[in-house]
Amino acid sequence: MRRTWKTLTIGLALGLGISAAHAAEEPFADLDNNGVFSEGDVRIGKALANDGQFSTDRAEANYKPPLGPVSVVFPGKFVSKKRALIVKASGNIIVNGDLSASGSGGVIFLVSSGGSVRIGDGVRFTTDSILQVVGMQDVTVGGRCNLRSKSGSFAMVSIASQEGDVTVGDGCQLGAGGMVEVTTGDLTGGNVRIGKGSRLVAGSGSLRVTAGGDLQVTDSTLNGRDVLMGSHRSTRTSRSAGKAGPGYASIRGSQIRSSGDGSVHLFASGGNGSTLDITKTSVKSKSRNGVRYDADVIVR
């Protein structure tokens, strides 16, 4: 009997246990939190298509909330046609494909109330108004990602962690007409790292890159009307093992620009021993006295 390539492909997929849902790259509720579609997981593409929203805490269609945390996984590209893509997960959120919320006033909200958020290499997020990614634990943006909000002065891109680190990979582009922020909690958050060759641009608004722990920025471009960057505390400067000391901010080999009548403020908090390293970094503001450095030790 003649076997076509299509028949062989289907047979191979079945033999390897590849489900039709995974092949279609439909987003799913990951009940066992292993990051792949497996028995017991629930497809949520239709639920998201209905109103652009899904929460692991709420029953919807075939999904019933179990005990314990539940993750949400986007294996591939997903476009919301409801001007909103709002996902709240008690576990992790994993994004391996482009996300888009179409139409005027479109928003993307990804919130992990108990886990981490991981965005794969080369992923693009596109929306018209607000793009916000929040994790209780670590938030990781892979290399060469493009996260943009397209509209004017009211647009915002925000990447934040409450208790973990935020890492933005090499060569990323984050842009909005209004505000761009990459932050961890001032008192509870960890480190912030911006990878080499990244570009963060807040058109007519403010750019904020601040860490509850260390701040590390290397060979990047950072522009906004007002620019605020710094570290609140660090284990590097601590005199007691396991305890945080004054802030440590390393912003090296980068270009920082303030537009209009805005200002630039770079800091490392905590007084004695706080360190701000701006080696080979160019800082410019059009305002008179528009550049301010706050740290006990400043390395140029």
- pLDDT tens-digit series, residues 167-217: 999 999 999 989 999 999 998 999 999 999 999 999 889 999 999 999 999
pLDDT in tens, 225-259: 999 999 999 876 655 555 678 999 999 999 999 99
**DSSP 8-state code for residue 13:** H
Structure tokens at 12: 């191979």
Beta bridge partners of 111: 88, 134
Q: Enumerate residues 6+ apart whose C-beta is below 8 A from 3.
A: none
pLDDT for position 271: 83
Of residues 224 and 102, more confidence is placed in 224
Of residues 103 and 265, more confidence is placed in 265
pLDDT for position 153: 56
Cα 212 from Cα 138, distance rounded (Å): 13
Cα 137 from Cα 161, distance rounded (Å): 6
Contact 161, 132 (CB under 8 A): no
Render the burial of 268-286: b for 16+ CB within 10 Å, e for the rest: bbbeebbbbbbeebebebe
Residue 39 in 3-state DSSP?
A: coil
State the pTM of this model.
0.89
